A and B are shown apart, each in its own frame.
Chain A
Amino acid sequence: MSTGSPEGTAGWPPPVLDPAGPFAEPVTTVSWVLFAMAGAVLTLVLVALGVALFGPRRWRKRLGGARLIWIGGLAFPVLVLSALLVYGLGLTSHLADDPQPGEMRVRVTGEMWWWRVAYLDDRGREVLQDANEVHIPVGRPVVFELDAADVIHSFWVPRLGGKKDMIPGRRNYLRLQADLPGSYGGQCAEYCGGPHALMGLVVVAHAPGEFDAWRARQAAPAPTAALITRGSEVFRRSGCGACHTVRGTDFNGLAGPDLSHVGSRRTLGAGILPNNQGTLGGWISDSQAIKPGNRMPAYPVLTGEDLRAVSAWLDSLE
C-alpha cells in the first residue's frame, strides 16, 4: 500500500533480511547463521538451567560440578566463537575491498539534515548534483564516497548493504549494488541532532538503458522554457537563490539542495514527503511545521498565487 511515506521503505519483510544485492546478501546469510547459533546456545543454557532448578537429583548432581564450567563455559564457547570468527573475518575482507579504477562513483555528503549527492566522472570530477536521492544502474557495483559537511552522519540503505559513517575531515567508501530495478529506502543512522529522525533518502535503481536516459536528462540544465515565469520571479524576489542552485539560471546558492531537477524527485524534505506541486507549496510555506528544526526558514508571507506559482515552477523542473 503506497501512502504518505517514501518509496522503498516498507518495513516487511525486514530489509536487513530481504537483501537486494550482492553486498547485502552475505550479511543476511550471516544473520541467519547467527540467529541459529544464538537460538541453539540459548536453548542449551535454558535446558541446563531448567535441569539445575527442577531436574531430578541424579541429573543435578552431574551438572553441579566444575566440569560443567569447563565444558559449557569454556570449551564450547571457544569452539563456537572461533568458528564464527573465521567465517566472519573472511566475509569482512571480501565486503570491504578498496575502490577500483573504472567503478562508478557517487559522492554523498551528509548535511544537517539532508544528503547532497554528486555524480562523479572517471577522474573523480563532479558532473552533476542532486539531493536526497541516488540513482544507480542495476547489476553494477557503485562506489559511494561518503563525506560530511558539518557533523557525523551515517549512510544506510539496509536492503543494499551495511552502513558507513560520514565523518568530517575523512572520506569513507561504501560499495553497494542493486540487482533489481526499484526504490530502496534508507535513513541517517548516526545521531546528528535536531530532526535526525527525519533524514531519509531513496536509492533508485534503473535498468541500464533507463539509467543512461535519466542521467542525460539530469545533466541538462533546468528546462529553459519554464524560466520566464511568475514562479521563477517569485523565487528570485524571495531570495531563494541565496541557498539553492538551479543550473542554467543565476540562482547559484550552495547551502541547500540543488533544485535544477527537483520536479523529478520522488520525495521532498529528505525522503519524508511525496513530491508534487501541493507538497512543494506546503514545504515552502511552512517547512518548520513538517520537519521541525530543518535549516530552511518558513515563507508564510507569499500570497496564494505567488506560492502556487513558485511551486508550479519548481514542479516543472523535471
Chain B
Amino acid sequence: MTSETGFDADRYKRFPTRGPRPDGELEELERIWCKPKGWQWISAINNNYVGVYYVGAAMLFFVLAGLLAVLMRTQLALPMQGILAQETYNQFFTVHGTMMMFLFAVPAVEALGVLLLPQMLGARDLPFPRLSAYAFWAYLIGGLAFFCSLFFGLAPNGGWFMYPPLTSMTYSPGINADFWLVGIGFIEISAIAGAIEIIVGVLRNRAPGMSLDKMPMFAWAMLIFAVMIIIAFPSVILATTLMELERALDWPFFDPVRGGDPMLWQHLFWFFGHPEVYIIFLPAAGATSTIIPAIARTPLVGYRLVVMAMMATGFISFGVWAHHMFATGMPTISTSYFSAASMAVSVPAGVQVFAWIATLAAGKMRFNTPGLFAVGGLVTFVMGGLTGVMVAMVPFDWQAHDSYFIVAHLHYVLIGGMVFPFFAAIYYWLPMTSSRPLSERMGKWVFWLMFTGVHITFLPMHLTGLMGMPRRVYTYLPDRGWELPNLISTAGAVLTAIAVLLWIIDMARNFRPFGNREAGNVFDGPGLEWLPTGLYSVRSVPVITSLYPLWEQKGLSRDVEAGRYFLPNSATGRRETIVTSTLNAEPQYLQRMPVPSPWPIWAAVFTAAAFLLLTIQAYWPSLIAGVLGIYCVFNWCWTLDRPVDQLTADIGAGIRVPTYRAGPSSHGWWAMVLTLVVGGMVLSLAAFSYVFLWSRNPGEWTPPPPLASLPWILAPYAAAALLSWGACRILRLARPRSGLIATVLLVGASGLVGLGWVLEWEAWRGIGTDPTAHAQGAMVYAFLAWQGFFAFIATVMGLYASLRWVAGLIAPDRPTTYDLIALFVVYTAGQGAFAALLVHLFPGG
C-alpha cells in the first residue's frame, strides 16, 4: 500500500508498546477532560454529554409527536367525532409530521452519530465539539418553542409540506405558518452544523490505520448521510427563505397572478424532501448493519456491496423527488423518468436487506431485544418498500396518492427503516453510556407490543386508502365503510403507545448515564466503541488493522487501556486529538481541541431568541438578540486558533507530528469549504428557481438594467477576491508589517463585497424594479437578499479579523483565522458575480 502522506506504515509496528507507562498520565487525562463543575455542567461539550442530551431530546420529541398521533387516532376512531376540533386536528397533523421528520428523525440519527462516532473512530472527540453543543442547544430550544406553539393555538396548520398558496399570507394570515418556518430554520442550522462536524470527523479523525475499507458500517452511513444533508438541505433553506420573504414582504415567488408558481415550492421542497427519507434511513440502516453482525456474531456479508448500495441510494435519491408530484399534471416524459428512478432506488435497499439476511444465515441470531428490533425493522421496511414500488407505478399512484394508502406506505418505510433500527440502536448501545443495560425481559415486551401495534395500526390503512379515504382529514362521514379499519388502526395506535410507555418506564428504571463506570459490551460487539473509555474517550488510540477490531485484534482492549498505543497521555497538556489522512488514516497532525465554554450555548439561546422574536414580530428585541448572538459567537471563537508552545509533539512511540496545520489539509479549511458548498447549493437552486419561473411566463419578463452597469458591479467583486487572496499571501511572508497589511486588505475586501452588493441594488432600483410587482423582480431581490446576508457576514468577519489583530492574535504561523475569512470573502464575491451575471444576461433584453 502506497502512503498517502509520506507516513511510513512500518512505524505502526511499534505498537503496542511495551513497558509500563509513567505514573500520572491517566490522572492528567482525567483532569484535562473532566466535566465542568457544578452549575457549569451546561457548558459541557464532550460528545459523551452532548451526545446523550441530543439523543434524549430527540426521544422527547418522538414521544411528544407520538402523543399527538394517538390523539389524532382517537379523533378518527369513529366518524364525525368532536374530540379534536377541525383547527386543532389540522395543527396536530402538521406538527406531528414536522416534528417526526425534523425534530425527531434527522436529529435522532445525527445525535447517534455525535454520541457514537468519536468512540467508533477511536478519536478523543469530533473535531468541532463547540459546534455540536451549539447545534444541540439551538435545536432543543427551537424545538420546544415550536411544540409549545400548539398550546397557544399558534401552531402551523398547513401540513408539514406547507404547500402554497394555502400557506401564503392570503390563506394563512396568522403567524402559525411562520412558526413552521422558524422551527425548520433551527433544524436547518443544527442539521448542517452536525453534518459538517460528521463529514470532517469521519474523514479526518479516524484512528491510525483505519483506512476507508476498515471503516465501521455506521461511519460510512453517517458520512453519506452528512453529504446528503449538505446537498439536500440547501433546497429547503432556499424554499423556506423564499416563503418567508413572500409572507413578510409580499414578494410573489409562488403567486401565479404575479408571475410566480406554486409548483416551484413543490420542486424545491421535494428536492429536499425525498432525499430526506433516505437521509433518515441510511444512518438507521448503518446501525442495522452494525447490530446484525454483532447479534449474529459474524462479519457482515458483502461489506463492499452494502457500502456501494448506500452510496447508490444517496445518489439516486436526488433524482426521485417528483414522484410526490405525479398527480400535478407533469408531462408523461417526466413522470416516466421519475417512475423509473423511484423503482431503481429500491434496488440498493434490496441489496442491504439481503446482506442482512445473508449475515443472519452465516451466523446464528441471538434473539435479544436489539436483534428483535433489527429483524422486525427489516420485515416492516420490506413491506414499506414493496408498497413504495407500487406507488412508483404512475397509474397506481394516481389512485393511491394522498390517500391513506400513502399514510400506510410512509409509516411502514419510516418505522421499519428508522424507528425500529433506532430502538435497536438504543438497546444495543445504551450500555455504552449507562451503568445498567435496559431490561431484556421488558425490552422483549416493548418490541412485541410495538411490532404488533404498528402493524395493526398501519396494515388496515392500505385498505382504507383503496376505499377512498383521503389523507389529512380531521374526520370522515359515516356509512362509507371506513369505520372498521379506522377503529382497528386506533386500537393499534394505543398498543404502540403502551409499548412506548413501557420503554419509558424501562429507561426510568435502568438508564443511569454519566457514572464512573458503564455496563459495557453486554452484546459482545466488535466495534471500537466497546473499548474501555473515560471522559477522554479511549486511553490510547489504537492502530486499526481490522474491520472488527475487538473480535480480531487480540488483546486490544487491554493494550488500549494500558496506554500502549497512540496518545497515551496528553502530548501538549491540553485537549487534543489526532488528525489523520482521508483514505488510509495516516497520522498528520495533532489537533488542539476546544475546552468547555458557555458561549456556544448562549449563542444558541440568542439565535433562538432572535428567530422567535422575529416570528412574533418583535423586531427591535429580535435585533438586539441577534447582536448578542454575534457577540457570543465572537467569544466562542476568540479562544480558538491560539498558538501552542510546542511546534511538534510525540504522539506515542516516538512518532512526532506538528501541533498546528493551516491550509487545505487542515480541519478548519474543510469545514469552511463544506459551509460554502451549502451556500453554493442554495445559489444553484436559486438559479434553477429563476430559470423555472422565467420558463412559466417568458413574455412577462422585462429587460434588465443596461449592460454598461455590469462591469461596475463585477469589478468590486473581482477586487475583493484578489485582496483576500493577497491578504493570505502577505501574512505568510512574515514581514514586520505583514499582519497589519493583511488585516487592512481583508477588511478592504469585505468592504468591496458590500460595495458590489450596493451597486447591484442601485442598478435594479435605477430601472424601477419592484420586488412586489412580479416574480422576476422578486427573484432578483431574493438574490440580493441572499448576497446581502453573505456580505453582512463578511463584514462581521472583517470586524472580527481586525479585533484579532488589535489583540495581537494574528501571527504568520497561525494564519487559519485569516485563511477562513478570506475563503468566505472569495466565495461571497464569486457568488455575487455569478448572481449578477445571471440576472443581467438571462433572459436578457
Please tell me if A102 contacts chain B, counting CB pairs below 8 Å: no
What does the 1/0 interface line of A181-202 toward B look like (CB < 8 Å)? 0000111111111111110100
**Is B477 a contact partner of A52 (Cβ separation < 8 A)?**
no
Instruction: Please provide the chain B residues from 299 to 330 with a CB less than 8 Å away from any CB of chain A in the complex.
Output: 301-302, 305, 309, 327-329
Residue of B nearest to A156 (CB): B470
- Given A92-B332, A169-B261, the answer on whether A200 and B477 have CB atoms closer than 8 Å is yes
**Is B355 a contact partner of A193 (Cβ separation < 8 A)?**
no
**Is B362 a contact partner of A27 (Cβ separation < 8 A)?**
no
Instruction: Please provide the chain B residues from 338 to 366 with a CB less than 8 Å away from any CB of chain A in the complex.
Output: 339-340, 343-344, 346-347, 350-355, 357-363, 365
In the bound complex, CA of A1 to CA of B480 (Å): 10
Please tell me if B379 contacts chain A, counting CB pairs below 8 Å: yes
Measured between beta carbons, the chain A residues less than 8 angstroms from B473 are 196-197
**Is A77 a contact partner of B401 (Cβ separation < 8 A)?**
no
Query: Which of B158, B302, B477 contacts A69, CB < 8 Å?
Result: B302
**Is A49 a contact partner of B357 (Cβ separation < 8 A)?**
yes
Measured between beta carbons, the chain B residues less than 8 angstroms from A292 are 85-86
Residue of A nearest to B331 (CB): A96
- Given A162-B327, A170-B329, A194-B90, the answer on whether A11 and B482 have CB atoms closer than 8 Å is yes
In the bound complex, CA of A91 to CA of B335 (Å): 12
**Is B166 a contact partner of A38 (Cβ separation < 8 A)?**
no
**Is A49 a contact partner of B379 (Cβ separation < 8 A)?**
yes
Please tell me if A100 contacts chain B, counting CB pairs below 8 Å: no
B351 → chain A, closest Cβ, in Å? 4
Query: Which of B263, B355, B363, B382 contacts A45, CB < 8 Å?
Result: B382
B55 → chain A, closest Cβ, in Å? 29
In the bound complex, CA of A241 to CA of B789 (Å): 52
**Is A151 a contact partner of B360 (Cβ separation < 8 A)?**
no
A194 → chain B, closest Cβ, in Å? 6
Measured between beta carbons, the chain A residues less than 8 angstroms from B260 are 169
B557 → chain A, closest Cβ, in Å? 28
In the bound complex, CA of A212 to CA of B362 (Å): 72
In the bound complex, CA of A60 to CA of B171 (Å): 60
Known contacts A16-B400, A170-B329; 11 further A-B pairs (Cβ under 8 A): A42-B383, A53-B360, A62-B361, A64-B360, A84-B389, A85-B339, A151-B163, A158-B399, A161-B399, A169-B262, A170-B256
Instruction: Please provide the chain A residues from 242 to 280 with a CB less than 8 Å away from any CB of chain B in the complex.
Output: 272
Please tell me if B475 contacts chain A, counting CB pairs below 8 Å: yes
* Binding-face segment, A29-37, A128-136, A215-223, A309-317: A29-37
In the bound complex, CA of A66 to CA of B355 (Å): 7
Please tell me if B387 contacts chain A, counting CB pairs below 8 Å: yes
B565 → chain A, closest Cβ, in Å? 33
- Given A10-B481, A63-B358, the answer on whether A189 and B339 have CB atoms closer than 8 Å is no
A199 → chain B, closest Cβ, in Å? 9
**Is A69 a contact partner of B87 (Cβ separation < 8 A)?**
no
- Given A45-B382, A49-B360, A52-B360, the answer on whether A30 and B403 have CB atoms closer than 8 Å is no
- Given A38-B386, A69-B301, A163-B327, the answer on whether A26 and B358 have CB atoms closer than 8 Å is no
**Is B480 a contact partner of A11 (Cβ separation < 8 A)?**
yes
Size category of the binding interface on chain A: 35 or more
Measured between beta carbons, the chain B residues less than 8 angstroms from A158 are 399, 468
Query: Which of B357, B379, B465, B472 contacts A63, CB < 8 Å?
Result: B357
* Binding-face segment, B44-52, B390-398, B713-721: B390-398
Please tell me if A51 contacts chain B, counting CB pairs below 8 Å: yes
In the bound complex, CA of A38 to CA of B305 (Å): 24
**Is A151 a contact partner of B165 (Cβ separation < 8 A)?**
yes
**Is B393 a contact partner of A88 (Cβ separation < 8 A)?**
yes
Please tell me if A164 contacts chain B, counting CB pairs below 8 Å: yes
**Is A68 a contact partner of B358 (Cβ separation < 8 A)?**
yes
Size category of the binding interface on chain B: 35 or more
**Is A154 a contact partner of B480 (Cβ separation < 8 A)?**
no
Please tell me if A302 contacts chain B, counting CB pairs below 8 Å: no
**Is A73 a contact partner of B165 (Cβ separation < 8 A)?**
no
Please tell me if B463 contacts chain A, counting CB pairs below 8 Å: yes
Measured between beta carbons, the chain A residues less than 8 angstroms from B360 are 49, 52-53, 64
- Given A11-B468, A151-B166, the answer on whether A190 and B402 have CB atoms closer than 8 Å is yes
Please tell me if A298 contacts chain B, counting CB pairs below 8 Å: no
Please tell me if B616 contacts chain A, counting CB pairs below 8 Å: no
**Residue contacts A-B, CB under 8 angstroms, 15 given:** A27-B396, A34-B389, A52-B361, A55-B361, A69-B358, A76-B350, A81-B344, A89-B336, A89-B339, A150-B170, A161-B399, A162-B327, A170-B263, A189-B327, A196-B474
Residue of B329, B353, B360 with most partner-chain A CB within 10 A? B329
Instruction: Please provide the chain B residues from 389 to 419 with a CB less than 8 Å away from any CB of chain A in the complex.
Output: 389-390, 393-403
Measured between beta carbons, the chain A residues less than 8 angstroms from B346 are 77, 81
**Is A74 a contact partner of B351 (Cβ separation < 8 A)?**
yes
**Is A77 a contact partner of B347 (Cβ separation < 8 A)?**
yes
Measured between beta carbons, the chain B residues less than 8 angstroms from A81 are 343-344, 346-347, 389
Measured between beta carbons, the chain A residues less than 8 angstroms from B87 are 194, 293
In the bound complex, CA of A89 to CA of B392 (Å): 11
A137 → chain B, closest Cβ, in Å? 23
Measured between beta carbons, the chain A residues less than 8 angstroms from B170 are 150
- Given A73-B354, A194-B86, the answer on whether A9 and B402 have CB atoms closer than 8 Å is no
Measured between beta carbons, the chain A residues less than 8 angstroms from B328 are 165, 167, 172
Residue of B nearest to A146 (CB): B329
**Is B354 a contact partner of A69 (Cβ separation < 8 A)?**
yes
**Is A191 a contact partner of B467 (Cβ separation < 8 A)?**
no
**Is A192 a contact partner of B394 (Cβ separation < 8 A)?**
no
Measured between beta carbons, the chain A residues less than 8 angstroms from B468 are 9, 11, 14-16, 156, 158, 185-187
Please tell me if B1 contacts chain A, counting CB pairs below 8 Å: no
**Is B163 a contact partner of A152 (Cβ separation < 8 A)?**
yes
**Is B479 a contact partner of A74 (Cβ separation < 8 A)?**
no
Please tell me if B249 contacts chain A, counting CB pairs below 8 Å: no
**Is A168 a contact partner of B471 (Cβ separation < 8 A)?**
no
In the bound complex, CA of A173 to CA of B257 (Å): 21
Please tell me if A226 contacts chain B, counting CB pairs below 8 Å: no
In the bound complex, CA of A12 to CA of B387 (Å): 22
In the bound complex, CA of A9 to CA of B477 (Å): 10
Residue of A nearest to B470 (CB): A189
Measured between beta carbons, the chain A residues less than 8 angstroms from B379 are 45-46, 49
Please tell me if A4 contacts chain B, counting CB pairs below 8 Å: yes
B620 → chain A, closest Cβ, in Å? 33
